[in-house]
Homo-oligomer: A and B are copies of this chain.
Amino acid sequence: MNLNKNYENLEQNYLFTTVAKKVQEYVAQNPDKKIIKLGIGDVTRPLCKSVIDAMHRAVDEMAVQETFKGYGPEQGYAFLREAIKKYYQSHGVALKIEEIFVSDGAKSDLGNILDLFDKDNTVLVPDPVYPVYVDTNIMAGRKIIFINANENNEFLPMPDESIQADLIYICSPNNPTGAVYTKSQLKCWVDYANKNNSIILFDSAYEAFIDDEEIPHSIYEIDGSKTCAVEICSFSKTAGFTGTRCGYTIVPMEIPNLNQMWLRRQSTKFNGVPYIVQRGAEAVFSKDGSEEIKQNLRYYQNNAKIISDTLTSCKIWHIGGKHSPYIWLKCPDSMTSWEFFDYLLNNIQVVGTPGAGFGKNGEGFFRLTSFGSEENTLEAMKRFKQLFG
C-alpha cells in the first residue's frame, strides 16, 4: 500500500496557533489588561429568528412517521435550489435548477470540485490567499503559479497573457484582503479564461457584504462567464451558518461535461445536507429572513466602517471594510506583520492577524475583521487613535 506522497509537500500553517500562543503568554504576564480580538474570522451574531423557527419546524417533522425525511437528493432539495435560483434572479442572473448543488459549505466544495480535473493542470492562485486553495492542490500534486496581489494593483491582480493557467481561483470580495473586483475587471478574467480554455473557481462567500449595485455579487453577472466559471458560495458569512454548515455550488450547463461529472461525483461521494439545515437555509431567503440577516450584516458592516474610518483618520493605508468584513492595512513605520502584531498587543492589547500568514505578499500587512462586538470594535479603535492619531 502506498500513501499519497503529495501530502509530504504540505507545509504546516502555524498562523493561528502562533497568534493564540502569543496572546496566551501576554495574558499570563498581564492579567489585568483587557484584550480585544479583531482577528476573528468567524461570525458571532446568533442565527436569525426565521432560520431558528424553520429549523424547529423541521426537527418536529423528523419526529413523526408521516413527515420524517430519510435520504434526500444528493444535490439538495428542490425547495432550497428554487430559493437560490430566485436569489440569483434578483441579481439578474438566470440559472437552471440543475446547475445548483447544495453543499455542506464552500470549503468542502472548493476542495472536492478538484476531483473533476486532471492532475496535470496548472493552477493560478493570488498571493496573499486563503490557504485552502493552495493546500488542496498540493494534495493532488498540481503545479501552482502564484500571481502577485499587492499595493500597486490594490490587491486585485489582473490576467497575465504570458501565463497559461488551467484553473484560476478568484475570491471577491476577497479573503484576506477585502478587495473587490469591478465588473470590467472580472470581464478581463472571463475573457482570459475563455481564450485559454481555463476554468475560474469563483469564491463568492462574502458577496452578501456588497453594498453597491455596480459591484457584481456573482461571476455570472459577467458576459461569457457561463462557459468558463464555477461559483462556490456559502451561508456561513451571509447568515451566520459557520456552525450550521450549508453552501452551494453553481456548475453551468454550458461548460462541456462538468455539470454531469459534478452530479456524478456528488451522488457517489456525498449524501446531501441535513434536511433540517436545508429548511434553515431556505428561510434565509424568506421575506422576514432576508430582512433579519441584513440586520446582522449591517451590524458587521458598521463595525467595518468604524475600523476603516479610524484607519483613515490615522492615515494608515488600507483596503476592504467596504463590501467586506475584512480590513487589510499596511503596517505603519515599515513594521513587518509580526512586529506590528506585537506592537498592537503590547501597547493597546488589540489582536489582529499578521498578513504574512497568507503568503509572501502579505508581509508588511495586517488583517482586522468586523466580526467582533460593536462595543469592542469602538474600544479598539479608540485605542488605535491614541496610539496612531
Contact = CB atoms under 8 A, between A and B. Distances in A.
Interface of A: 1-5, 7, 10, 42-47, 49, 52, 55-56, 59-60, 62-65, 68-72, 104-105, 107-108, 110-112, 115-118, 120-121, 132, 135-136, 139, 166-167, 197-199, 240, 242-245, 257-258, 261, 264-265, 268-277
User: What are the 3 tightest A-B residue pairs by CB atom distance, in nearest-first order?
Assistant: A111-B269, A2-B118, A42-B70
Contact of A52 (B45, B59, B117, B121): B59
Nearest to A1: B166
Given A71-B42, A118-B3, A245 B271 contact: yes
Given A1-B197, A136-B269, A64 B46 contact: yes
Given A70-B242, A108-B270, A276 B55 contact: yes
A374 B108 CA distance: 40
B62 A1 contact: no
A265 B2 contact: no
A77 to B, nearest CB: 10
B108 A62 contact: no
Q: Which of A121, A199, A269 has the most CB of B within 10 A?
A: A269
Given A166-B2, A271-B107, A71 B116 contact: no
A265 B139 contact: yes
Contact of A65 (B44, B56, B257): B44
A70 B243 contact: yes
Given A62-B46, A65-B45, A116 B1 contact: no
8 contacts: A1-B121, A1-B197, A2-B120, A5-B118, A44-B65, A45-B65, A46-B62, A46-B68
A107 to B, nearest CB: 5
A258 B62 CA distance: 37
Given A56-B59, A244-B62, A268 B132 contact: yes
Contact of A273 (B49, B65, B166, B245): B245
A136 B268 CA distance: 7
A121 B2 contact: yes
A64 to B, nearest CB: 6
A261 B136 CA distance: 13
A268 B199 contact: no
A69 B55 CA distance: 15
A47 to B, nearest CB: 5
Nearest to A54: B59
Nearest to A69: B243
Contacts of A108: 269-271
Contacts of A243: 62, 68-72, 272, 274-275
A166 B257 CA distance: 32
Contact of A276 (B167, B244, B258, B264): B244
Contacts of A72: 243
A175 to B, nearest CB: 14
A68 B55 contact: no
A351 to B, nearest CB: 17
Nearest to A197: B1
A245 B52 CA distance: 19
Given A52-B59, A71-B243, A274-B276, 5 more contacts: A1-B198, A1-B199, A3-B258, A111-B269, A274-B274
Nearest to A12: B264
A92 to B, nearest CB: 27
A265 B115 CA distance: 14
Nearest to A277: B274
